[in-house]
Structure 1
Amino acid sequence: MAKAKKKQAKTRSDFSKYIRWFWILFSAGVLSVALIFLLAAWGVFGDMPDHTQLENPKTHLATEIISSDGVTLGKYYFNDNRTPVSYDDLSPHLVDALIATEDERYHKHAGIDARGTLRAFVFLGKKGGASTISQQLSRQLFVGVASRSTIGRITQKVKEWVIATRLERQYTKEEIIAQYFNIYDFGNNGDGIRSASRIYFDKEPIDLDIKEAAMLVGMFVNSSLYNPRRNPEGVKNRRNVVLYQMYRNGYITENVKDSLQKTELDLNYTPQSHRDGIATYFRGYLAGFMKDWIKNNPKPDGTKWNLYNDGLKIYTTIDSRMQKHAEDAVQQHMPRLQAEFFHQNTPGRNPTAPFLDLTKGAIDTLMRRSMRQSERWRHLKYDLKKSDKEIEASFYKPIKMAVFEWKDGKPSERDTIMKPIDSMRYYKSFLRPGMMSMNPQTGHVKAWVGGMNYRHFQYDMVKQGKRQIGSTFKPLVYATAIDQLHLSPCDEFPDTPFCIEANKHGNPEEWCPKNSGGDNDYGGNRTLKNALANSVNTITARLIDKVGPQTVIDLARKLGIKSDIPPVPSIALGTPDISVYEMVAAYATFANKGVYTKPVMVTTIEDKNGTVLYQFTPEANDVLSAETAYVTVKLMEGVTQSGSGARLRSKGVDAYRADYREIVTGYPYQFTNPIAGKTGTTQNQSDGWFMGMVPNLVTGVWVGGEERSVHFKSITYGQGAAMALPIWGIYMKNCYADESLNISKAEFEAPASLSIQVDCSKVKPKTPVDDENDQLPDDLDFN
């Protein structure tokens, strides 16, 4: 008995020992786990984010360019094309798909899903992982790429858990979901949900439907593998898994699931790169503007803003609708014009194509100069340290390249093998446009088209490029004469040969301009309105003789033209090189009652938190009296009533044909509202211009080749009325069709007191006679 009791006592003692060891080991395990978490929290396993970092996690944010009508025109970024959105900007379908697929008990845990963790531990992850949305966010924000070692993976997982619980304390559930969508890289420059939804579906995140949301959420598992452009079938299968999860968790019905799983992805792929999208040339200009602004406006701490990482918001004056109309007008007209140019400049018709009036030696010299100015030369010379001989030889070795072409009336690329020197000559054969549209009262630039394709023609012909302006300069001469001499559009001048003798007005030799029709293009008297409408050179020469070149130059400077203008009489016919930007601003002064308003492109700049960093201040100056400006406008109305711009009024042909030659005699615009404007054609048809105005919109268009020796042979196709005016007509027709733009069709407002008669039917014209010059003109011919 005693022995049995002793044995029983020993058994109890052994059991108690086991119990004691169990609790010791259990407590040690708990303490060890707690210690591991504490060590992780203290940063022993690597840096951990503090409160400030949790509040403001470091993510690179793209700078966003926003139009006046609230549309994103583009972004500036290096690697991260990310623009964050709030929870309220997310489609409910996105949230439902995310929770159903990634974290079914998201609203029931505080960062760590104990049930999911236990399941993953027991089944070694074979029945799903245990990472919550909060853990996945902590990994992307602070932990980074998974370690390859077992110990490393364990410590990283611990750090995830610690940070996830901190995130849950720091943010609401909704804020965590928004951050999760904002941080993920969806591929193809789709950094964050806003970029992804715009790139894959051309929609804002709030507008995504069920299947679109399911596709994007499906990409969370691996956006490289499930890339809808490279692996559409795999992405579709993954999307269908997400749709099943949404059904399983009660977010959609079985019928909805079954019907959506049968559909295609229906992508609307809209790439967001610096060379694609809308307003590319304007964005190129804006980058320079921002570079200067950043240089002179540091952050409060003295450091510089980063245009590509700091998430600035740039609010611009560009109207996305008008910009689209402008780009559409260019793309509708230029391929047809180019087709005619190619037709005229085949090797059989023009052995020196695309050049005219140049010898082979002159062409070789031009090409060598262009070669040395090319980006290819710069790269080989300064980056790769090649010799001039090696570089020049490389231009004559065929290489693979993609070249620009118009295909079916749209810009396209063609893969080919070509010598770089031949590609340079090929690109010189293309005619190029420049176009700007501006509200004359506010100075707000509404549309900016610096070329036809930014990938292949990056030189901006709105502000960078300056070309000879031809007869579009004549209204400045007329305005000066009206201002100085109080002339009326009804006053008559003799249309006879006219010369300005040598040494007068700084002219080194006698200057005798002739009209566009040559020696026989004279006759009788013309009113100023008729003379401007028909671009009569002799009468313009008479006017500059009366007021002097310097007076005209002084007015040009007040109108914002800073380009070089030599003080000689020939400027009257448009010899200076001036940009589209300058000309539009100058013409806008006439529409704005004589008040020059400096063009405005940027209204506000904000930081990522919405703090205003820059607010534009209007710059305006009285340049001309309201009367002089109005009379000049009435003169220019004559251009579209009976002059070279009258085709804007005609019915013309009903539609364009592929052969551009069908449309040179008529245009289907049929405008009936008041339009003031002026065409311009320079020597040898190298440059075609049209400046057009209605009361609240001034638009200038230039078309020409890169080289002045690239031009049409005849004025039939090479005049401004055929090269540039159609772009203006198409653009304005589309703007008028969009009634939300409120483009005016009204009369230009006359000043309260008008002492100069503009209605020639009510006055007997006075005729300043000037017959002292009867010498024959030379061959200078500007139309």
Structure 2
Amino acid sequence: MAIKQRKWFKWFLWGAAGVILMFLLFFLSIYFGLWGHMPSEKELKEIVQNEASEVYGTDDRLIGKYYLFDRQSIPYEEIPEHLIHALVATEDFRFYDHEGIDYKSFFRVFFKSILLRDESSGGGSTITQQLAKNLYQRRKYGRMGIAVNKLREMIIAKRIEHAYSKKEILTLYLNTVPFSDNTYGVESASYKFFGKKARKLTLEEAAVLVGMLKANYYYNPRLFPERSTTRRNTVMHQMVRYEYLDQGTFDSLRLLPVELYYTPYAHDKGIAPYFREQVKKEVEAWCAAHPDSTGKTYDLYRDGLRIYTTLDAEMQALAEEAMAEHLSGLQEQFEKSYGQRAPWITNKKMAEDALLKSAPYRALKERGWSDTKIMDSLSKPRRMELFDWKENHIVEGTTLDSIRHYLKFLNAGVISIDPHTGAIRTWIGGINYRYFKYDHVRQSKRQVGSTFKPIVYTTALEEGLAPCSYFSPKKVVYEEYDGWSPSNASGEEEENEFINYSLKYALSRSVNTVAVKVLDYAGISNTIAMAKNMGIEAPLPQVPSLALGTAGISVEEMAGAYAAYVNKSTPVKPFFLTRIEDRQGNILAEFEPEERTKPAFSSHTRQVMLEMMKATVNEGTASRLRTVYGLKNAMAGKTGTTQSNKDGWFVGLTPRLVTVTWVGADDHRIGFRSTRMGQGANSALPVFAGFLQRMNRDTTFNRYTNARFETIPSAVLGELDCDPKREDTFIEKLFGKKDRKKGAEQEDRKDRKKKKKKEGFFKRLFGKKKDR
């Protein structure tokens, strides 16, 4: 009997030794990387995770990200203590006592999870092991998967503990751990779910985030608020259990609801999407041209760049609100005015043209498909979501149906800049970036209408025209331009043929006939040169209709040009980048505004023009700013409307902000049905008005809203102190004018030329320059 026992014991020892040997060989195979790469301590010390690049506005307000993984890293000092306590109490209460492996938990997992394959027994992983799993994702090894992955993570965890301190491990863990909604790291999660930096998280908010770690979908507070609340309270109860929280505080906090300030940073959603797209383009261009010291090109989506801009996020939000409020109402009126006779319904060619430009058509064309095959594919009905101001609709329709739907929408371009530096404060490229990708601030160049007239008047004043000059509003036929004859937007002319308008009156009322005559006085080439000096780079036609704004110019360019009227006659180049930093905060590049020191025109001309544009607001085409919207701010401005009411413009000038607004349909063939609806004062001006009203209600913007224009010298005001209308004198009525057809101003121009010729003679004789 004893012999049998000894034999059994011997076999047992041999069996146990075999199992131990097999386990040892199995462990060594993992340790030496036979099941996959095992990082060394040196490699672990050099861990560099993909990080989102962040875009900041003024006051370091985060406004967007570019990423493959939504992750932002922060130092230990930026992590609140109660978040650390919540994590340790819930995930690894012996964290400070072990060196990467909690052996009590390990044996529980080994016998229950691995040998008995009881997955309900829990993971038992320490924070360090979880970090190892986050850094080096688990692989599939078949039936050996659990054992291989667990041992792999234990080995890596031990190496992490040798490479890093406990604080560093906690920091690395919280910067890499996945949270709900494809979010990585506590800083990104804090921004996404609570709209704040992690260091500002309250205890209960921190508990919500830690609660997600058990199952980030199941405990997603956005999708399952009740589950999230229960899990949050469990986390806080663990904090009480391990003496990180007192019972009284827990009792009060557990009754609070989970309140989110959900702020996703999707590319086509959120604040200023058109602006963020332009930032992306410029920074990518910078990255391509400026590799790091090793020659590596920066990656906007991986390298965690910090991009600082001039955009004011609060101001941008107000501008977007004002735009949406006005455009949604205007759209309804616009569609109602057309009814079933709308061109996007009746004009087949318009829809076909739009189809040929559409992304689906171009994508299939690039594959080599024939037009017949493409049309057959795009004509098949499918479920689609269509944008609408009130509520998006899910419908069954074809691609052509979708194109017709989007043809009808009015779009917008809005920009606000600091006129003294060119810093861009707001940028709205369209009504909804998800559905309308085309940017109407920079990409679009639309006819500017009467907003070009101030440039014409400025040129004429610089050419010697007196501020109190008068012009007849009567039509003139320009034979040399195929008998072209401009008319006024109202379609009315003064019945009294001897009445003349002052410059101030004509500009404030936007009288077309007078604007063309002022251009004739100033000279087309001189006016084009003035526009160039004011920063307009778009090609300008050398025709009299230039005075009426037939040139296509971007919203951005117009803002820079108009800045001259409140910036000592000097235009600015709008800009938005201030600096770029790497993930450690090292400055990679700093950007300064393009300095333009040469004034485009004299101070006297600027003061005269500013007074004329104040009159536009106080008594002219933009007077509804005062009468309808009740704005009492210091303002000047100019409305603009193009032919057939296709483009509505408004430029609003305040001492510290220049705002340009454009409204129209993407397809330039679609216009408003009436001037009453389509004029700039009705289509574009209300966006500026709503924007300024909102700023007035927020004391944050007092430096903008309470600012006042410079005091205009009495001498300049005196030059403008003349009747708005003047009747021809008795002699002029009796004898007429040599060229009544072209107007009295033609005689004034000839007199001016004679005077200049005479002045030139004296200049040559005495060598003196006239100081204008």
Question: Could you state the TM-score of these two structures normalised by the residue count of structure 2?
Answer: 0.86
Offset at residue 601 of structure 1 (A): 0.8
- Tell me whether 1:250 sits opposite 2:243 in the alignment: yes
Offset at residue 235 of structure 1 (A): 3.6
Separation in 2, partners of 1:764, 1:459: 43
- Which of 614, 619, 623 is the matching residue for 1:637? 614
- The residue number in structure 2 matching 1:70 is 60
Offset at residue 596 of structure 1 (A): 2.0
**Is 2:560–2:573's contact at 8 Å kept on the other side of the alignment?**
yes
Separation in 1, partners of 2:718, 2:283: 45
**Is 2:331–2:410's contact at 8 Å kept on the other side of the alignment?**
yes
What do you get for the CA RMSD once the two structures are aligned? 3.3
- Tell me whether 1:387 sits opposite 2:370 in the alignment: yes
Query: 1:564-643 counterparts in 2 under 5 A?
Result: 564-621=539-596, 622=598, 623-643=600-620
What residue identity is the alignment partner of 1:703?
Answer: V
Offset at residue 353 of structure 1 (A): 4.4
What residue identity is the alignment partner of 1:563?
Answer: A
Secondary structure at the residue paired with 1:108? Answer: coil
- The residue number in structure 2 matching 1:175 is 168
- Tell me whether 1:377 sits opposite 2:356 in the alignment: no
Separation in 1, partners of 2:724, 2:332: 49
Change in Cα spacing, 1:683 to 1:766, as seen in structure 2 (3 Å) is closer
- Tell me whether 1:688 sits opposite 2:667 in the alignment: no
- Tell me whether 1:141 sits opposite 2:135 in the alignment: yes
* Total equivalences in the alignment: 722
Secondary structure at the residue paired with 1:416? Answer: strand
Offset at residue 494 of structure 1 (A): 2.9
**Is 1:279–1:449's contact at 8 Å kept on the other side of the alignment?**
yes
- After superposing on structure 2, the runs of 4+ consecutive aligned residues of structure 1 that deviate more than 6 Å are 28-39, 762-770
Query: 1:44-193 counterparts in 2 under 5 A?
Result: 45-78=35-68, 80-121=69-110, 128-142=122-136, 144-149=137-142, 153-193=146-186
Secondary structure at the residue paired with 1:434? Answer: strand
- Tell me whether 1:562 sits opposite 2:545 in the alignment: no
Aligned identity (percent) is 37
- Which of 470, 478, 501 is the matching residue for 1:492? 470
- Tell me whether 1:210 sits opposite 2:203 in the alignment: yes
Q: For each residue in 1:284-329, what CA deviation from the matched residue of structure 2 results, as whole angstroms up to 9, or x when unmatched?
A: 1222212322222222222322111111111011000110011011
Offset at residue 436 of structure 1 (A): 0.1
Offset at residue 707 of structure 1 (A): 2.0
- Tell me whether 1:271 sits opposite 2:303 in the alignment: no
- Tell me whether 1:710 sits opposite 2:670 in the alignment: yes
Q: For each residue in 1:141-177, what CA deviation from the matched residue of structure 2 results, as whole angstroms up to 9, or x when unmatched?
A: 13x2154446554444343233323323333322222
Change in Cα spacing, 1:759 to 1:728, as seen in structure 2 (3 Å) is farther
What residue identity is the alignment partner of 1:518?
Answer: G
Query: 1:226-625 counterparts in 2 under 5 A?
Result: 226-258=219-251, 260-347=253-340, 351-354=341-344, 363-383=347-367, 385-407=368-390, 412-485=391-464, 487-488=466-467, 490-502=468-480, 508-518=481-491, 520-521=493-494, 524-621=499-596, 622=598, 623-625=600-602
What residue identity is the alignment partner of 1:188?
Answer: D
Higher mean alpha-carbon deviation, 520-529 vs 709-718, is at 520-529
Separation in 1, partners of 2:189, 2:592: 36
Offset at residue 354 of structure 1 (A): 4.7
- Tell me whether 1:748 sits opposite 2:709 in the alignment: yes
Change in Cα spacing, 1:36 to 1:629, as seen in structure 2 (3 Å) is farther
Q: For each residue in 1:252-279, what CA deviation from the matched residue of structure 2 results, as whole angstroms up to 9, or x when unmatched?
A: 3445445554554333333221011000
Offset at residue 434 of structure 1 (A): 0.8
- The residue number in structure 1 matching 2:685 is 725
Separation in 2, partners of 1:570, 1:386: 44
Separation in 2, partners of 1:763, 1:379: 62
Change in Cα spacing, 1:193 to 1:719, as seen in structure 2 (3 Å) is same
Separation in 2, partners of 1:446, 1:530: 32
Unaligned runs of 5+ in 1: 1-9, 503-507, 651-666, 778-783
Separation in 1, partners of 2:551, 2:38: 64
Change in Cα spacing, 1:146 to 1:213, as seen in structure 2 (3 Å) is farther
Change in Cα spacing, 1:422 to 1:771, as seen in structure 2 (3 Å) is farther
Secondary structure at the residue paired with 1:743? Answer: helix
- The residue number in structure 1 matching 2:752 is none
Unaligned runs of 5+ in 2: 744-772
Separation in 2, partners of 1:729, 1:475: 21
Offset at residue 451 of structure 1 (A): 1.0
**Is 2:385–2:395's contact at 8 Å kept on the other side of the alignment?**
yes
Separation in 1, partners of 2:727, 2:594: 40
Offset at residue 731 of structure 1 (A): 0.6
Q: For each residue in 1:636-693, what CA deviation from the matched residue of structure 2 results, as whole angstroms up to 9, or x when unmatched?
A: 111001101111112xxxxxxxxxxxxxxxx23x222321100001111111110001
**Is 2:319–2:426's contact at 8 Å kept on the other side of the alignment?**
yes
What residue identity is the alignment partner of 2:365?
Answer: K
Separation in 2, partners of 1:127, 1:707: 64
Change in Cα spacing, 1:99 to 1:194, as seen in structure 2 (3 Å) is same
Change in Cα spacing, 1:35 to 1:771, as seen in structure 2 (3 Å) is farther
What residue identity is the alignment partner of 2:212?
Answer: M
Separation in 1, partners of 2:42, 2:576: 36
Higher mean alpha-carbon deviation, 394-403 vs 264-273, is at 264-273
Separation in 1, partners of 2:83, 2:191: 14
What residue identity is the alignment partner of 1:89?
Answer: E
Offset at residue 229 of structure 1 (A): 4.2
Separation in 1, partners of 2:540, 2:708: 33
Separation in 1, partners of 2:554, 2:220: 44
Secondary structure at the residue paired with 2:406? Answer: helix
- Tell me whether 1:699 sits opposite 2:659 in the alignment: yes
Q: For each residue in 1:330-371, what CA deviation from the matched residue of structure 2 results, as whole angstroms up to 9, or x when unmatched?
A: 111111111211221221xxx24457xxxx5xx222221111
**Is 2:309–2:576's contact at 8 Å kept on the other side of the alignment?**
yes
Compare the two structures and name the one with the higher helix fraction: 2
Offset at residue 733 of structure 1 (A): 1.7
